[in-house]
Amino acid sequence: MLLDLCLAATLGLSMTSPVVAQAFDWSAAYTKANAALAKLSLQDKVNIVTGVGWDKGPCVGNTQAISSISYPQLCLQDSPLGIRFGKVSTAFTPGIQAASTWDIDLIRQRGQFMGAEAKAAGVHVQLGPVAGPLGKIAQGGRNWEGFGPDPYLTGIAMAETIQGMQGSGVQATAKHYILNEQEKNRETMSSRVDDRSMHELYLWPFADSVKAGVATVMCSYNKINGTWACENDNALNKLLKQELGFQGYIMTDWNAQHSTVQAANMGLDMTMPGSDFNGGTILWGPELTKAVNNGQVAQTRVDDMVKRILAAWYLVGQDVGYPPINIQANVQGDHKSNVRAVARDGIVLLKNTGSVLPLKKPTKLALVGSAAVVNPSAPYDALKTRTSADGTTLSAVATANKNTIVVVQSVGPVILEDILALDGVKAVVWAGLGSQESGNALVDILYGSTNPSGKLPYTIAKSATDYGTAVTSGDDSFPEGLYIDYRHFDQAGIAPRYEFGYGLFTNSGSVGGAEVPQLYLTLPSGAPAAPPKQLRGFTKLSLQPGASGTATFNLRRRDLSYWDVASQNWVVPGGNFGVSVGASSRDVRLTGSITVS
């Protein structure tokens, strides 16, 4: 039966962040950075801001050591889910799985453990977490690295991850900044977005990242309104450094630099990897030195780059007792516990007809599909792929067994209509991407040792066309504006198959469960047009069967605001705000209002 969770909600108005932040002392870091800067020559400074070149160091990105200030060869290493090329490191769950847990404690611990492994391997800068792509396009090829298309959920997850990583002593990187929403033509296309959508959707999680004290931001491959992201004055200087008050440094994505002078003057602070992938083109290094000497780039601009980089290094304490670089080190510790917890608690139960789950020690159990392959061989795989290409395998299984359980392991939304139409399919389990503990996590759920508590971090539609967005072959003008994912479905009156925030919970009788009360706000009627409701709070309550709990939500001023283009500021509209609290964006259990005069 369904776990009956009675929810009581308390609204608290607060100017503080929902994230419990660990204080990072930028002022003290800059004091040290200024003292170090005075000891550096122009050549030293250029070496700090320029990578040594592709494939010319132990890490995917490297800078030269500066002995005069005991500054090491900086190691920058992928990825947002662990150490790339690490031989004895943990394969952490991707961001989208962490988001599916809606559990800020697990999300922060995931960041903490990733940071601990990076530090133990001598990695100074971990190239994650991901806030861009946000995920406006359901088919986006790298959406899975991030936390889903809701800026509030992504912002909270970014802040928690950054706090965890940097609390362990490694510099976190908020990427990819900004409007890199698809992989197709990402290195040539231009993203053109209106100012309000930029602030309320795409810039939002980067603002939370800056608030959390992120050390560095990676600019993206695409153009923004016709200008490359890594030399875009509005994006780098005006929005990020001035409006958001970012105190760290901006690095390029690998080979995303397109100029020497323009990039320097428009706000770029570090180029990676320092050359193109052939090693033939170097846009900074000696070229930056020439630009400074001939007056095209001011010495003060280079000093600012260096101070930002050094301050981030000092910020997380990397100047004292930091381990040497050793990507091959055994750094796993007990971190698989977090992988299993995130994999398990991110599993979403979509359907459970007749309480077929949890499994009750069935006498016969058949495993069919890609997960059934052990030590695969090429001929067998090829034949299996060919025979199942027409989609008849699942139909045949559901016909043969009227208690078929479908487990979906996917990077993002998949249209399920054909599967749900099969009478034999009694349960659908959305397992997502469980990484190295995927099997154990799935068994925990299927056999009922843990009740499923995951919630969808995106909408599953009935048809791909229902999303209202798609990968484009040319430039993208973002015509959908504010209306992506559930905002679009609500505004257009489209019924999804499974809405944002959805997830069933079963009660096996003696095993507790967890519910995620979600708070959505509706702007007053006199405010500018906005989505019918927007997520502005959530918490995960662990409850015993039949128990109730209290959810308290703290609202920041920005949560009550819209971005006013004319005044270039966040504005809280007067009037009655609609308040909806429920188990998903459409399963509303409690409504009310807040009046702002």
Report the alpha-carbon distance of residue 93 to residue 192 in Å, rounded: 32
Supply the DSSP symbol for 235.
I
Residue 286: cis peptide before it, omega within 30 degrees of 0: no
The H helix count followed by the E strand count for the chain is 17, 22
List the alpha helices (DSSP H) in 50-126.
95-101, 104-120
Q: Quick check: bond before 488 cis, omega within 30?
A: no
Residue 396: count other Cβ atoms within 10 Å of its Cβ.
Answer: 12
Amino acid making up residue 143: N
d(CA 471, CA 488): 17
Give the whole-angstrom CA distance, residue 324 versus residue 470.
45
Six-digit token string for 67: 């002995």
The Cα–Cα gap between 274 and 61 comes to: 8
Give the pair of three-digit tokens for residue 41.
């020559």
Q: ∠ CA 292-63-271 to the nearest 5 degrees?
A: 55
> Any idea what DSSP says for residue 327?
T
For residue 199, give the 3-state DSSP assignment: helix
Q: Which of 253, 345, 485, 559 is catalytic?
A: 253
Q: Which class for 334: exposed (0-12), middle (13-18), buried (19 or more C-beta within 10 A)?
A: exposed
Measured CA to CA, the distance from residue 175 to residue 567 in angstroms comes to 28
50 bridge partner residues: 271
Can you name the residues that pair with 249 across neighbouring β-strands? 216
Whether 269 is catalytic is no
Token readout for 129 is: 């977490």
Question: Closest Cα partner for 177 from 247, 128, 112?
Answer: 128
Give which of 520, 530, 522 is closest to 575, Cα–Cα.
522
Residue length of the chain: 597
Query: Across 146-301, where does the E strand assignment appear?
Result: 171-177, 190-191, 216-219, 223-224, 227-228, 249-252
Characterize the bridge pairing of strands 534-538 and 541-543: unpaired
Both structure tokens of 306? 């260096």
Phi, psi torsion values for 130, nearest 5 degrees: -115, 125
Q: How far apart (Å, rounded) are the C-alpha atoms in residues 98 and 453? A: 12
Burial of 79 (0-12, 13-18, 19+ CB in 10 A): buried
CA 471, CA 568: separation in Å to the nearest integer? 30
d(CA 431, CA 282): 44
Catalytic residues: 253
